[in-house]
Amino acid sequence: MTLEMGKQLKDWLNAALNLVYPAVCQICEKERATREEGYVCQSCWSGKDGVRFIVEPFCHRCGLPFEGAITIQFECANCREADLHFSAARSAVAAKGVVLDVIHRYKYGKAIWFEPFLADLLLRQAVPVLHCDKWDLIVPVPLHPVKQREREFNQAEQIAIHLSKASGLPMNKTLLRRVEPTRTQTQLTKAERAANVHNAFALNRGEKLNGEKVILVDDVFTTGATTSACAKILREAGARDVCVWTVARGI
């Protein structure tokens, strides 16, 4: 397929989608918003409950933002007491307001039209940082097959596809598998989250690592229990380093 044919196909697809999903914001249902914008208008994007990017100062282990004029790298008290298996975790935005609403509707309501919006948030923050260091591989946090059949897609995998294309780094979605159909983490305490994902992940048969630096991708980071459990398996399999990138950070 030529570039021109690809552009025409994309234009036809966008036109067809605009017939199904009119170019109206799916949050306020008033202002114009296109498919490329993930159907989130500028007013919702920048309003008082809109997007809040995470900037320094933040804990350089888990990415939790802090108030105040902190000018040195630091690790928060939670991370100093925790046994985390990733070297660092970063999130693009705070999991509040519009962002949290979109994530819930995307994951649990099959509102797939929000995917470009969520992917754009991650790419804005992650790609410049990843280009400053050498990474080898992107791995999405896997869903259990039962949950993936129910949901019909893995949100971490879909977002990781966008990051792979934008960064030029390969993605391996078969490296990890979820072997336990764990409960949702949403209403669990920090201790319950860790127990819930203990032994929940494993390396797929025939997969191996040989000193690669791996970027683990998920939609939301809260306590780090899920991503730490995944990072533990990746390190045991031979990863030299594991960092975490998520769209949003629970505050």
DSSP-derived secondary structure for 44-86: HHHSTTS--B--SSB-TTT--B--S---S----HHHHHS---S
**Pair type for strands 201-203 and 88-94:** unpaired
Strands (E), the chain: 88-94, 137-140, 176-178, 201-203, 213-221, 241-249
What's the token pair of residue 184? 């949702």
Taking the C-alpha atoms of residue 16 and residue 36, their distance in angstroms, rounded to an integer, is 13
Which residue in 126, 121, 119 sits closest to 155, CA to CA? 119
Number of domains in the chain: 1
pLDDT at 5: 57
The amino acid at 95: A
pLDDT at 104: 96
Taking the C-alpha atoms of residue 43 and residue 30, their distance in angstroms, rounded to an integer, is 10
Query: HSE on the CB side for 161, CA within 13 Å?
Result: 7
CA angle 222, 196, 139 (to 5 degrees): 60
pLDDT at 11: 58
**Class of residue 34 by CB neighbours under 10 A (exposed 0-12, middle 13-18, buried 19+):** middle
250 alpha-carbon distance from chain centroid? 12
Residue 180 lies in a domain: yes
Residue 113 lies in a domain: no
Domain of 150, in residue numbers: 53-93+122-249
pLDDT at 232: 96
Residue 176 lies in a domain: yes
pLDDT at 182: 65
Residue 25 lies in a domain: no
Q: Is the pTM here over 0.85, yes or no?
A: yes
Counting DSSP H helices and E strands in the chain, the numbers are: 9, 6
DSSP state of 131: T
SS3 169: coil
pLDDT at 67: 86
pLDDT at 199: 82
Residue 98 lies in a domain: no
The tens place of each residue's pLDDT in the chain, 251 residues long, gives 555 655 565 556 556 656 666 789 999 999 999 988 999 999 999 999 999 999 999 999 999 999 877 778 889 998 988 899 999 999 999 999 999 999 999 999 999 999 999 999 999 999 999 999 999 999 999 999 998 999 999 999 999 999 999 999 999 999 999 988 765 666 566 666 666 677 889 999 888 899 999 999 999 999 999 999 999 999 999 999 999 999 999 98
CATH classification of the domain holding 213:
3.40.50.2020
211 alpha-carbon distance from chain centroid? 23
